[in-house]
């Protein structure tokens, strides 16, 4: 098996889990064509010991990490507004690039990132829409696009978290300058999921947003969101200053899809009691599909495509067993978020192997390319325009 040195930029919440996934991929997947080997981790000084403990070579020089000739792959796990420069520098240094979502902090940056990625067809450009790596969603996609249930009529997308109460301190996630806000953070996942499962994107939409908590205590020095929220986000205002929040806590969107289906999107960080409810309900002419990450191993399916009325009812299908692409330890020994992270790294290794051996990359659960992620940015930009102008917006007007 080939080895490839990988480096990471950012060692907050995402940085921590990635080391486990890179090291774990050949344990899960005996057929991975490439075994990643941990290289450098660009991180804040306070994070260096943690990065070393996870097997990385800690560095506070981001450019040196990107340009290190031993590294062939850069994983961007930085705050959203830092993705653009880092990813472009990585392509220019000849590296494969895996970038966290949302792709960028705004439309212009996302567009340029997709354009630059296109200039390097031999390098990976992959955005971490991780819910594509969940077997239940892989099955939902197959079912939704098989035509078995006929035309899609309605889509209800939602992503509800509950950590954004008044006691939660500020971090880059609450700052426009860093690409913060619930819409980009959570809405980007839902919009990618809508496209991934149904194959369709909104063609017009109308959106509204609100900021429930207008001021928060922000740290006076650069800190990760993970660092700010140590202790469960309970307010300890030492070393912090009270500032206005200039991003949304919640957004609602109504949209139309290309074939006439209608839908809604609901995102919030203020749904008390919802930890990570990323879900959807899809209603077709002859069936329905429901998923929620609270029960990530299951897909709920209602099949109305048979004539047998008496047999009709909801099926709760366990997708932790059966003929799915991704690793299962043993049926019923359920998957979690960490497993999806390993699956994502595996998918990247398959895509890189295809690029490097000149064969077409094909997958029943393809990576989200920078173009895919740019299209999510276009939809988010349409939401911004709709909110600013209090009107419906056509996606064809957002370039």
Nearer to ligand NAD, 181 or 263 (CB): 181
Least separation in angstroms between residue 117's CB and ligand NAD is 17
Least separation in angstroms between residue 279's CB and ligand NAD is 14
d(CA 105, CA 81): 5
Measured at the CA of 36, the angle between CA 30 and CA 40, to 5 degrees, comes to: 160
Q: Give how far the C-alpha of residue 136 lies from the chain's centroid of Cα atoms, to the nearest Å.
A: 16
Nearer to ligand NAD, 102 or 287 (CB): 102
Least separation in angstroms between residue 248's CB and ligand NAD is 15
Nearer to ligand NAD, 33 or 55 (CB): 55
Q: Tokens for 210, please give them.
A: 């609100």
d(CA 6, CA 75): 7
What secondary structure does DSSP assign to 344-367, as a single string?
A: HHHHHHHHHHHHHHT-----SS--
Nearer to ligand NAD, 13 or 64 (CB): 13
Instruction: Note whether 267 and 107 are within 8 A (CB).
Output: no
Q: Which of 120, 145, 90, 138 is nearest to 346 (CA)?
A: 138
Q: Which residue is nearest to ligand NAD (CB)?
A: 12
Nearer to ligand NAD, 218 or 284 (CB): 218
Q: Where are the alpha helices (DSSP H) in 42-134?
A: 48-53, 62-67, 83-92, 107-118
Nearer to ligand NAD, 107 or 393 (CB): 107
Least separation in angstroms between residue 229's CB and ligand NAD is 8
Instruction: Note whether 37 and 69 are within 8 A (CB).
Output: no
Asked if omega into 237 is within 30° of 0 (cis), the reply is no
Nearer to ligand NAD, 12 or 287 (CB): 12
Least separation in angstroms between residue 32's CB and ligand NAD is 21
Nearer to ligand NAD, 284 or 370 (CB): 370
Least separation in angstroms between residue 224's CB and ligand NAD is 3
Instruction: Note whether 36 and 350 are within 8 A (CB).
Output: no
Non-local (6+) Cβ contacts of 331 within 8 A are 318, 320, 321, 322
Q: How many angstroms separate the first and last alpha carbons of the chain? A: 42
Nearer to ligand NAD, 180 or 287 (CB): 180
Q: Give how far the C-alpha of residue 2 lies from the chain's centroid of Cα atoms, to the nearest Å.
A: 28
Measured at the CA of 210, the angle between CA 207 and CA 215, to 5 degrees, comes to: 155
Least separation in angstroms between residue 341's CB and ligand NAD is 8
Least separation in angstroms between residue 383's CB and ligand NAD is 17
Q: Which of 295, 395, 378, 324 is nearest to 104 (CA)?
A: 378
In the complex, which residues of this chain contact ligand NAD (CB under 6 A)?
A: 10-15, 43-44, 47, 77-80, 82, 100-101, 128, 130, 172, 185, 222, 224-226
Least separation in angstroms between residue 68's CB and ligand NAD is 17
């Amino acid at each position: 098996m080939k080895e490839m040195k990988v480096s990471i930029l950012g060692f907050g919440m995402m940085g921590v889990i990635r080391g486990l996934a890179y090291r774990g991929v050949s344990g899960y997947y005996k057929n991975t064509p490439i075994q990643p080997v941990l290289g450098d981790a660009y991180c804040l000084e306070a994070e260096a010991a943690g990065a070393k403990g996870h097997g990385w070579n800690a560095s506070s020089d981001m450019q040196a990490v990107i340009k290190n000739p031993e590294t062939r792959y850069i994983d961007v796990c930085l705050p959203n507004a830092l993705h653009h420069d880092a990813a472009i520098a990585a392509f220019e240094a000849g590296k494969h690039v895996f970038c966290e979502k949302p792709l960028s902090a705004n439309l212009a940056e996302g567009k340029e990132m997709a354009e630059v990625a296109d200039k390097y067809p031999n390098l990976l450009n992959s955005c971490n829409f991780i819910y594509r790596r969940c077997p239940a969603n892989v099955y939902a996609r197959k079912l939704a696009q098989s035509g078995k249930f006929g035309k899609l009529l309605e889509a209800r997308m939602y992503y509800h978290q509950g950590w954004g109460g008044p006691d939660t301190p500020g971090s880059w996630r609450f700052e426009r300058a860093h690409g913060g806000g619930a819409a980009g953070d959570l809405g980007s996942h839902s919009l990618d999921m809508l496209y991934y499962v149904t194959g369709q994107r909104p063609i017009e939409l109308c959106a509204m947003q609100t900021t429930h908590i207008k001021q928060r205590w922000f740290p006076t020095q650069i800190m990760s969101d993970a660092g700010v929220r140590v202790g469960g986000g309970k307010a300890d205002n030492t070393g912090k200053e009270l500032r206005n929040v200039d991003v949304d806590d919640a957004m609602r969107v109504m949209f139309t899809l290309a074939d006439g289906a209608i839908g809604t999107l609901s995102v919030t960080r203020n749904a008390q009691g919802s930890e990570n409810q990323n879900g959807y309900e899809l209603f077709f002419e002859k069936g329905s599909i429901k998923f929620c990450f609270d029960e990530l191993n299951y897909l709920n399916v209602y099949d109305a495509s048979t004539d047998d009325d008496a047999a009709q009812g909801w099926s709760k299908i366990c997708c932790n067993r059966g003929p799915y692409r991704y690793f299962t330890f043993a049926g019923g020994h359920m998957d979690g978020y960490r497993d999806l992270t390993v699956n994502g790294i595996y998918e990247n290794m398959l895509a890189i192997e295809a690029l490097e051996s000149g064969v077409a990359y094909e997958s029943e659960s393809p990576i989200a390319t920078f173009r895919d992620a740019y299209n999510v940015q276009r939809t988010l930009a349409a939401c911004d325009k709709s909110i600013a102008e209090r009107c419906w917006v056509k996606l064809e007007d957002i370039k």
